[in-house]
Amino acid sequence: MSFGGPQWPQQPQDPYQQDPYQRRQEPYRQDQPYTAQTPDWSALAEASAARTRRKRLLLVGGAALATALVGTVIAAAIVSTNKKDDDGANLADTTSAAPELPTDTAKPQPSFSSVAPPPPPDPMDFISSAAKDKAPLSAESLFPGKKLTVGDRVHKKGATASTTACATAAEDGLGAVLERNGCRRVVRATYEKDGVAVTVGVAVFDTQAAALKAKEQAAGGIAPLAGSGVDGFCQSQTVCLRRANALGRYAYFTQAGFTSGKKVTTGDRAVFKISDDLGTFTFNQIYARGRAQASAAATAPAAGQ
């Protein structure tokens, strides 16, 4: 079995080949005779004298060499010291004019407040109370331009009016409802398309609660406003379409019918459509007042800084 390493050798090996430091020993040969010899004393004396002379010469030469080496080392040390001094002077000259780096290189870290920012103002807060709803109000601001385009329908704008005598802008009992709930103003505008006309009236109150009551108690309708290219419509003894709604401190009413005096029936889709268009447009215009004032309030602190 193999564990990933070399396998054991399978053939025997010569032990002398394994150990290079071990040499073979030749055995004494018994066939050679042993012969004793007398030493040459004269040759030995000469050899001893020669060895003494060589030792003396080696000692003298070694001393001279050591002296020379010491001198060389001292000279090299002097040269090296002078060179280091020169380099130090040059280094001092080149670095003395360098600007000092600041020791504190830590950059300031941004800090974040743990307090959550306040929520943006709610547009409904501004259009629900006279205390906060301070934007200018007029027929032109609520009903701008000369026409209203909704999809492929273009409604021409006729006459407009604004009055603080709320009862005069209503009929058949609606005037009493407006005054009873504290109506401050009624703004009206008339639109016409293909012989179908509608007057929308926006009644302004101090609070949202008052506007809701006026909507719930509504009786009769807003008085039709003719003129500026729109003939009279919804006269007495004529059936017209009346609607009422409220948003914030505003209650708005529509009355739509034919300029020909024709009575409106449930099948007259053109009358319902123009009433829908003006009701939706008025809703959006009222809410736009709140959104504009909320946006101004949100940016006011930043603008004052």
Q: Mean pLDDT, to the nearest integer, of 45-71?
A: 61
pLDDT of residue 99: 57
pLDDT surpassing 70 at residue 121: yes
Do 281 and 154 sit in the same domain of this protein? yes
How many percent of the chain have pLDDT more than 90?
57
Do 136 and 191 sit in the same domain of this protein? yes
Q: What is the CA radius of gyration of the chain?
A: 59
Instruction: Report the number of distinct structural domains present in the chain.
Output: 2
Q: Is 220 among the domain residues? A: yes
159, 226 Cβ separation under 8 angstroms:
yes
Do 140 and 270 sit in the same domain of this protein? yes
Do 225 and 156 sit in the same domain of this protein? yes
Give me 4's structure tokens: 């990933």
pLDDT surpassing 60 at residue 14: no
Q: How far is CA 198 from CA 23, 159, 171, in A?
A: 131, 11, 15
Residue tagged 């021409």 (tokens): 156
Do 283 and 142 sit in the same domain of this protein? yes
What's the domain range around 265?
129-294
pLDDT surpassing 70 at residue 175: yes
Q: Who wins on pLDDT, 50 or 193?
A: 193
- Least-confidence region, from 75-79, 98-102, 196-200, 296-300: 75-79
Domain CATH number, residue 229: 3.40.1000
Of 85, 113, 146, which marks where a domain is finished? 85
pLDDT surpassing 50 at residue 1: no
Report the range out of 41-45, 95-99, 209-213 with the highest average pLDDT.
Answer: 209-213
Q: Is 225 among the domain residues? A: yes
CB atoms within 10 A of CB 293: 19
Q: Is 137 among the domain residues? A: yes
Give the mean pLDDT of the chain.
Answer: 78
pLDDT of residue 15: 37
Q: Who wins on pLDDT, 24 or 283?
A: 283
Q: Who wins on pLDDT, 86 or 182?
A: 182
Per residue in 192-212, pLDDT (tens digit) is 999 999 999 999 999 999 999
275 residue type, one letter: S
Q: Is 264 among the domain residues? A: yes
